[in-house]
Amino acid sequence: MALQLASVKLWADNKNTAHEAYDGPVLRVAIMGLGGYGTRVAGAMQYCTKAKLVGAISGTPKKLTDWQDSFGIPAKNCYNYQTYHQIKNNPDIDAVYITTPNGLHHDMALAVAKAGKHVICEKPMALNAVQGQEMVDACKAAGVKLLVGYRMHFEPHTLEVIRMRKAGELGKILFFRGLCGFKIGDPKQWRLNKELAGGGSLMDIGIYAINGARYMTGEEPIWVTAQETKTDPVKFKEGVDETIQFQFGFPSGATASCLSTYNQNNLDKFFLNGEKGWAEMQPSTGYGPIKGRTHKGELNQPVTTHQTVQMDEFSDILLNGKQPVVPVDGNEAVKDLKIIDAIYAAVKTGKKVELSL
């Protein structure tokens, strides 16, 4: 936890994250799933102005006591996985951020919605599009909102490329390339467990290329083709993909070529090409500083702590009705899940799969 917080503080102390005076409503959040990413979000939230960490939900008692000490969370706002439905009776919590393994998102989101709290869920939102739509429907029926942790939708360098594309500075978009991956370690971790992860690299790092292809081109894919490569069937068991290459076609005629892998480092790269110009980002989605350049020169937008900005933006969306440049709601996530379903179908059949989003 100390390492996570030190990393977050390093970015939060950057001069570009200086606070501005704020006296509006504050979103009060409980985090469910106190692992590595939950801890990163918690640390980043210490620097939010519009959102506050007020609760914690975990199946590990020691984590709950540690978080009470580290983040000043009152014991009355701490729950385990058997008692968290009781948040219904806790007026101090507005929303729950689910950062548990993918396979747990669906049931937890339904329970949080039933308790009358807004749902914030990490991506991918569910294991498939059917589950995702059920989450959207449950939140709508409960009268609560559903947001997904698309932190890159608020990242300044990313938003500048989107602005340039919308302004026509790149001309007609022709091609996108997204390379996402890393060499995964511990073979016993949940990310290599089909039941908990729902797949392999595609369900973890590949989501960035999928979503990135959509917000970079500004279009929805209408077909997908895909191929899987597996060099270690012991580590990457049946249903857990090691490497998948996938391609999209868009209504304008633009195409995308992407790679998702658990067997290569030195990736995390986006490239967008148009008739008048281009944009390249590397790193394009990592936690540290995003770097990029275009045909006009280097991108020099502010460096931010992604999770701090995301949670403040989520507060504005949930409490003030703000509309983000790129959607971050459940419907946006269902589209990604439909694409993931199509990629897996294309891998299995070897055929082009038509899409209608």
CA dihedral defined by 312, 318, 319, 321, rounded to 10 degrees? 100
pLDDT of residue 348: 98
Residue 337 confidence (pLDDT) above 70: yes
Q: Which domains does the chain have, with CATH numbers?
A: 2-151 (3.40.50.720), 156-301+329-354 (3.30.360.10)
CA distance 238 to 32: 29
Is the predicted pLDDT of residue 199 greater than 80, yes or no?
A: yes
Q: In the predicted model, what is the mean pLDDT of the chain? A: 95
| Mean per-residue pLDDT, 204-227 | 98
Is 344 in the active site? no
Task: Measure the CA–CA gap between 304 and 156, rounded to whole angstroms.
Answer: 8
The one catalytic residue among 208, 215, 262, 344: 208
Percent of the chain residues topping a pLDDT of 70:
94
**Distance, CA of 112 to CA of 116 (rounded, Å):** 7
Strands (E), 25-64: 27-32, 51-57
Answer left, alpha or beta for residue 224, where phi above 0 means left and psi between -120 and 50 means alpha: beta
Instruction: Give pLDDT, residue 217.
Output: 98
The residue behind tokens 């790193």 is: 283
Q: Is residue 10 pLDDT above 60, yes or no?
A: no
Q: Residue 19's pLDDT is what?
A: 52
Catalytic residue among 63, 123, 145, 335: 123
Q: Mean of the pLDDT values across residues 227-255?
A: 98
Flag whether pLDDT at 2 surpasses 90: no
- Burial class, 277, CB count within 10 angstroms (exposed 0-12 / middle 13-18 / buried 19+): middle
Kindly state the average pLDDT of the residues 45-62.
Answer: 98
3 vs 154, which has greater pLDDT?
154
Q: Is 81 exposed, middle or buried (0-12, 13-18, 19+ CB in 10 A)?
A: middle
Q: Quick: pLDDT tens for 32-44.
A: 999 999 999 999 9
Give pLDDT tens digits for 76-119: 999 999 999 999 999 999 999 999 999 999 999 999 999 999 99
For 189: left if phi > 0, alpha if psi spans -120 to 50, otherwise beta; the answer is beta
Tell me the HSE value of 205 on the side-chain side, using a 13 A CA sphere: 31
Q: Can you tell me the distance from the alpha carbon of 318 to that of 324, in angstroms, rounded to the nearest whole number?
A: 11
- Please tell me the predicted confidence (pLDDT) of residue 12: 45
**Which pLDDT band holds residue 1 (cuts at 50, 70, 90)?**
low
| Torsion sign over Cα 80, 86, 90, 94 | positive
pLDDT higher than threshold 60 for residue 3? no
pLDDT 10s digits, 277-321: 999 999 999 998 999 999 999 999 999 999 999 999 999 999 999
pLDDT tier, 268 (very low <50, low <70, confident <90, very high otherwise): very high
Average pLDDT score over residue span 219-242 = 98
CA triplet 328, 330, 333: central angle to 5 degrees? 75
Place of tokens 């978080």: 67
Is 287 labeled as catalytic in the residue annotation? no
